[in-house]
Amino acid sequence: MTATIEFNTLPTKTQVRLIELSKLVDGVMPIETKTWKFATSTLQPSTETPTIVLEVAQWAGKENIYLYTICLVTEQCDLSKIRIAFSEAKAMKKNGRAYPRLNSESCCFYVGSSEKMHQRLKEHLGYGTQGTYALQLAHWASSFQIELEFKCARYKAGHAREVYQALEDTLWDEMSPMFGRKGMK
């Protein structure tokens, strides 16, 4: 028996699903947001994990969901040079690392979500598991004299995953990050 697809009813079904999602997202606010800044020049693959990871772990706690951005703070920065350095590292698979997708130039580097925020930040900094797609900043950005801002919002767990995903997708659309991809990973 074959499944029948009614493409003519798809718009109406989609509208119903979006209305339901809109109701689920209504009023979902972060418990708290916090910002940290760090210089990429301090990130070296052979050094210990930066203290920012411990600070985030202490702040984050457990049983929460986090949405975050990593954005450039430094003004007068040549984004094309950053793009080239990243592209070279990705093409070479520098230090055996997994690098995310490269998008258009943007002062926002990355938008994401996580249940273990300190671990995810550790991966972005370049101190986590090699095969996890992350910015891997210690492996290509340490030669730049730039400052980045890591901004994180902590949400109470308990909502449907699609709620957090809708919030993340909206944040992604707003920020247009240079690295990564939109949607479920």
Instruction: Spell out where the chain has E strands.
Output: 32-39, 64-72, 108-114, 147-156
Q: Is residue 126 part of a domain?
A: yes
Please check whether residue 10 lies inside any domain of the structure: no
pLDDT in the model for residue 117: 97
Give CA angle at 73 (69, 79), nearest 5°. 90
Span 97-117, average pLDDT: 97
Helices (H), 61-115: 79-92
Q: Is residue 127 a part of any domain in this protein? A: yes
Tell whether 24 is covered by a domain.
no
Number of independent structural domains in the chain:
1
Q: Is the pLDDT of residue 100 over 90?
A: yes
Query: What ranges in 7-78 are assigned the alpha helix state H?
Result: 10-25, 51-60
Q: Would you place residue 185 in the very low, low, confident or very high pLDDT band (cuts 50, 70, 90)? A: low
Kindly report the backbone phi and psi dihedral angles of residue 68, in degrees, each rounded to the nearest multiple of 5, phi listed first: -150, 160
Residue 7 forms part of a structural domain: no
CB atoms within 10 A of CB 128: 18
Radius of gyration (C-alpha) of the chain in whole angstroms = 18
> Given a cut of 70, is residue 82 above it in pLDDT?
yes
Mean pLDDT of the chain: 94
> How many residues in the chain?
185
Could you tell me the residue range of the domain that residue 38 belongs to? 29-175
The pLDDT assigned to 62 comes to 85
Task: Specify the DSSP class assigned to residue 131.
Answer: T
- CA separation for the pair 123, 51 (Å, rounded): 14
User: CA–CA separation, 43 vs 49, rounded Å?
Assistant: 9
The residues with which 147 forms a beta bridge, in sequence order, are 39
Q: pTM for the complete prediction?
A: 0.92
pLDDT of amino acid 183? 86
**Per-residue pLDDT at 105:** 95
> Among residues of the chain, what percentage have pLDDT more than 90?
86
Q: What is the pLDDT of residues 65-75, one digit of tens each?
A: 999 999 999 98
Query: Is pLDDT above 70 for 118?
Result: yes
**Does 18 reside within a domain?**
no
Under 8 Å between Cβ of 167 and 98: no
Tell me whether residue 36 is in a domain: yes
Task: Assess if residue 12 is contained within a domain.
Answer: no
**Is the Cβ–Cβ distance between 134 and 117 less than 8 Å?**
no
pLDDT band at 108 (very low <50, low <70, confident <90, very high): very high
- Residues 14-52 have pLDDT tens digits of 999 999 999 999 999 999 999 999 999 999 988 899 999
Give the mean pLDDT of 114-119: 96
